[in-house]
Each structure stands twice: as C-alpha cells, then as structure tokens.
C-alpha cells in the first residue's frame, strides 16, 4: 500500500479474514462461488445504482437470448427491508426464502468454533448461500467499503470488476488521500479478469492503472456511451448517466468473456429496455404529494451530497414554494460539521428552512443504536451552528423523529398556500423510513 500522509488506521482483523473458512463450513467451495459468474463493484459514489444498471442490462439480455436465466444482486445497506439486499431477477428475496436460507446458514455457523462472522460478513455469506442454492448464473456484488480487505473480496475469480466514481470517504479506514482510497478500491482487481472504471482525476487514474498491472487485470475507463438515449429521466442527473455508461461497459465485458468466441452482445433494444425498467429507490427519487414535492436521495458523503444538492436546485429553484431541507447523519465514520458545511455551501443559500432530525421513524419506536451511542442533542447543536455560520438567515428547526420532521415540512407548505419543495438527504437510514412514511407500502408488505 502507498505510504501517504493521512494513511488509514488498520486496526483489528480485516473483514475478509475468516470468510473462506465460514463458507467452507457451509460446504461452499471457491469453485461454487466462481460458478456464480460474478461482477464485483467497488467505489465511493454510485456503487448501488451502477450495480442495479448492470443487473438490468443483463436481465434484458437474458430475456432476449436466454442468458443469463437468473440474476443475483447483492447491495447494502437496505432502504426499508433487509430482504432488499439480496435480489433474484431484481426482486427482493421473499420473506419465506429469507427465513429458510438464513436459518440454514445460522444453524451451521452457530455450531462452529472460534470467531463467528460479524454483521456484514454474515450477510454476505448468507447472500452467497442464497445465490448458490437458487442457481443464479450472473451475480452482481457491491463491496461494503474499501475493496482489498473487504469481506466481499473472498470472490477470487470474478468475470469483471468495476470501480465507480471515487472520492474521500471512510478516511479512517481507507486513508485521507484519493491515491490511498483508489489503492483499496482496486484491490478487487483479479488476474485475468476484465476491469472497468469510471473516468477519474489523474492521481486516481494513475493508481488504478498501477494496481491493474500489479494484479494482472485488463483495465478500461468507461466513456459516456453514445447508445444512451437522450432525455431519459432514469439517467438524470449526469452522475446517473456516468454510472449507466460504466454499467454498459461492465455488462458488455461480462458477455464477451462469458461467450468466448461467439459473443452475444447487448443490442440497442436491450439498452433501451434496461434503462426504461431501471429503478433504484432512494436515489434521486421524486415523490409528489398534492402541492408538496419530496426529493429523496441517500447521499452521505461530500461528493454525493453535492450532487444531490445540484439535482434538487435544478428542479426546485424556479418554484415559488418554500424550499426545505430535512437532514440527519449520525455516524462514527464522518464528522458531522464538515458534512453539513459541504451541503450548506452546495445549496447556495437557496433554502428557506432547514430541519435537522434523527433516524428514529416515529414516537412509537424506541431509539435506535445510533441515537443511543451518540449525544444527539450535541450533534444537532453542531449542525445548527455550522449552518448558521454560512447562512444565518435560514430558519432552522430540530425534530426528534422523521415523522415529526415530515409534518413540520408539510405545515410550512400549508402555511405558504403553495405547498413546498423538500430535499431529504444525509443517510439511507433517514431516507428509507421517510419514504415509507411518504408512500406507505402495500399492506401485505408491512411486518
């Protein structure tokens, strides 16, 4: 790893440690995993949406040609329900299958000796177990964070690896320079596997190229694909167009490698159909509720929050309705003040109201682990002070629950007589419950 100022704090055991042993206890060999035909995706921004685009391209290709017949998609975290992390043909795993396969895994691993998997390790072991048992023949896997030491890097022979847009995040674990972060993310590159990366700044490009040589991987950088349709709302804003272009390159590379001498490429029809059917809830999502418009994005770091702010302003700036931000981020990974400062500057003083809240959905639910581990009152004071230093005229409210924050925004919209335009961002732990309150799921999906 490069010796750089502000390098990572590598403490404890890497999350990849123990993964092969635990999979072996379940009877799953490296060859079983290889047969899943994996596309492995790392990055800072857009991992989830890129994975969803890749899955959509391969699913459309499969409908037309018969391959793949069954896609698997593993992403994290979930937005509303844990089943969302493990998808078959894009459908979240049913609750019956979730319970069945989980207890198959738990019953075996609970009998083992020595260290047992932590939460994310267990979830990924569980996902691989599901995909193997279900006979998936194309699998898209999102790293948790990092790459080199990530538990998902137990996959030793992926067909394609992919690195999305990189920025500074998880700096205590990955280092405070782009080079260090790129070093970690490129740890998923494998000998003989095709590698695709999003366009990057020179220092990232250089590190990715060096790591590709070191790992024996053939690396290409995805450019904006001319096959993408103009005007498609699914690939707006521009960051989604970039993610879609990376996904097309990855899907094409996958099909070329799988097919060998007789490739069956993506057709223009595959691409149009894939983009039409694509969705990724909680990312650049708009929900209209009478005169009120909600803009939801699970952005949580500087690069994604800036993109979310630009997207919101591009839609809401011309509206005469009050513009509101609902924000929460309670994390050991990032310092709250700088994150709020980044968002405040990105929104350019165009907001009338800011509402800081927590991850707690409503008063009927107890405080979650995050609220118990943090002095939330002090954290929100930091948020208020940071915002006031940049935009002293903004009216700021602090609400204890997501439900009360939504009601406060609705009240502002009602008093205005013209509704409101509200951006909800900062964490998927905020956006997921907010979405469930704004657009309640069908009764059969409610626990």
The pLDDT of residue 309 = 96
Convert the pLDDT of each residue in 42-79 to its tens digit.
998 899 999 999 999 999 999 999 999 999 999 999 99
Mean pLDDT to the nearest integer, 117-144: 97
* Of 291, 279, 299, residue with least CA distance to 422: 291
The answer to whether residue 145 scores a pLDDT higher than 90 is no
192 band by pLDDT with thresholds 50, 70 and 90: very high
Tell me what percent of the residues of the chain surpass a pLDDT of 70: 92
Identify the residue with better confidence: 4 or 294.
Answer: 294
* Of 343, 438, 441, residue with least CA distance to 383: 343
Task: Go through the chain and tell me how many residues it has.
Answer: 447
The pLDDT of residue 267 = 93
217 band by pLDDT with thresholds 50, 70 and 90: very high
The pLDDT of residue 11 = 52
- Joined together, the tokens standing for residue 170 give 């998880």
Convert the pLDDT of each residue in 257-299 to its tens digit.
997 656 689 999 999 999 999 999 999 999 999 999 999 999 9
Report CA torsion sign: 215, 218, 223, 226: negative
Determine contact, residues 38/32, Cβ cutoff 8 Å: no
For 137, the 3-state DSSP assignment is coil
Buried b / exposed e along 90-102 (16+ C-beta atoms within 10 A): eebbeeebbeebb
| Contacting residues for 26 by C-beta, under 8 A, at least 6 apart | 104, 105, 108, 109, 125, 129
* Of 48, 61, 28, residue with least CA distance to 130: 28
Spell out the alpha helix ranges (H) of 137-237: 171-174, 178-185, 202-215
Does residue 14 come out as left (phi exceeding 0), alpha (psi in the -120 to 50 range) or beta?
beta
- Joined together, the tokens standing for residue 34 give 């290889």
Mean of per-residue pLDDT scores for the chain: 91
* Of 21, 28, 13, residue with least CA distance to 127: 28
Strand positions, DSSP E, 275-403? 285-289, 292-297, 323-327, 353-356, 395-398
The answer to whether residue 333 scores a pLDDT higher than 90 is no
Note the pTM of the prediction, 2 decimals: 0.91
The answer to whether residue 332 scores a pLDDT higher than 90 is no
* Of 325, 400, 330, residue with least CA distance to 360: 400
Determine contact, residues 349/391, Cβ cutoff 8 Å: yes
For 352, the 3-state DSSP assignment is coil
Which residues on adjacent β-strands are paired with residue 140? 39, 73
The pLDDT of residue 280 = 93
């Amino acid at each position: 790893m490069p010796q750089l100022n502000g390098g990572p704090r590598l403490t404890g055991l890497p999350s990849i440690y123990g993964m092969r042993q635990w999979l072996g206890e379940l009877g799953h060999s490296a060859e079983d995993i290889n047969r899943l035909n994996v596309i492995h995706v790392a990055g800072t921004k857009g991992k989830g949406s890129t994975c969803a685009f890749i899955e959509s391209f391969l699913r459309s290709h499969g409908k037309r040609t018969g391959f793949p017949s069954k896609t698997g998609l593993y992403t994290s975290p979930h937005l509303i329900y844990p089943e969302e992390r493990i998808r078959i043909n894009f459908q979240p795993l049913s609750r019956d299958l979730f319970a069945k396969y989980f207890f198959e895994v738990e019953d075996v691993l609970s009998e083992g000796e020595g260290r047992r998997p932590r939460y994310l390790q267990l979830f990924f072991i569980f996902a691989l177990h599901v995909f193997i048992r279900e006979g998936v023949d194309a699998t898209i896997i999102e790293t948790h964070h990092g790459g080199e030491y990530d538990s998902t890097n137990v996959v030793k022979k992926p067909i394609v690896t992919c690195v999305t847009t990189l920025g500074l995040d998880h700096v205590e674990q990955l280092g405070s320079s782009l080079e260090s972060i790129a070093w970690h993310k490129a740890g998923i590159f494998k000998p003989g596997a095709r590698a695709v990366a999003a366009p990057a700044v020179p220092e990232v490009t250089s590190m990715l190229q060096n790591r590709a040589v070191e790992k024996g991987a053939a690396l290409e950088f995805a450019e904006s694909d001319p096959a993408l349709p103009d005007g498609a709302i699914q690939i707006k804003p521009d960051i989604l167009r970039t993610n879609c272009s990376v996904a097309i390159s990855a899907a094409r590379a996958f099909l070329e490698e799988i097919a060998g001498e007789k490739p069956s490429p993506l057709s223009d029809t595959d691409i149009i159909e894939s983009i039409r059917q694509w969705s990724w809830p909680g990312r650049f999502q708009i929900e209209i509720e009478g005169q009120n418009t909600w803009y939801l994005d699970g952005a949580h770091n500087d690069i994604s929050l800036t993109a979310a702010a630009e997207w919101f302003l591009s839609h809401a700036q011309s509206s005469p309705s009050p513009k509101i931000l609902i924000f929460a981020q309670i994390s050991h990974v990032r310092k709250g003040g700088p994150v709020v400062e980044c968002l405040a500057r990105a929104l350019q003083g165009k907001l009338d109201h800011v509402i800081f809240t927590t991850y707690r959905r409503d008063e009927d639910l107890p405080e979650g682990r995050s609220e118990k581990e943090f002095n939330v009152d002090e954290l929100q004071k930091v948020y208020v002070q940071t915002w006031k230093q940049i935009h002293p005229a903004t009216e700021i409210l602090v609400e204890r629950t997501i439900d009360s924050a939504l009601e406060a925004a609705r009240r502002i919209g009602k008093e205005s007589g013209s509704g409101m335009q509200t951006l909800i961002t900062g964490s998927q732990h905020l956006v997921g419950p907010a979405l469930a309150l704004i657009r309640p799921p069908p009764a059969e999906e409610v626990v």
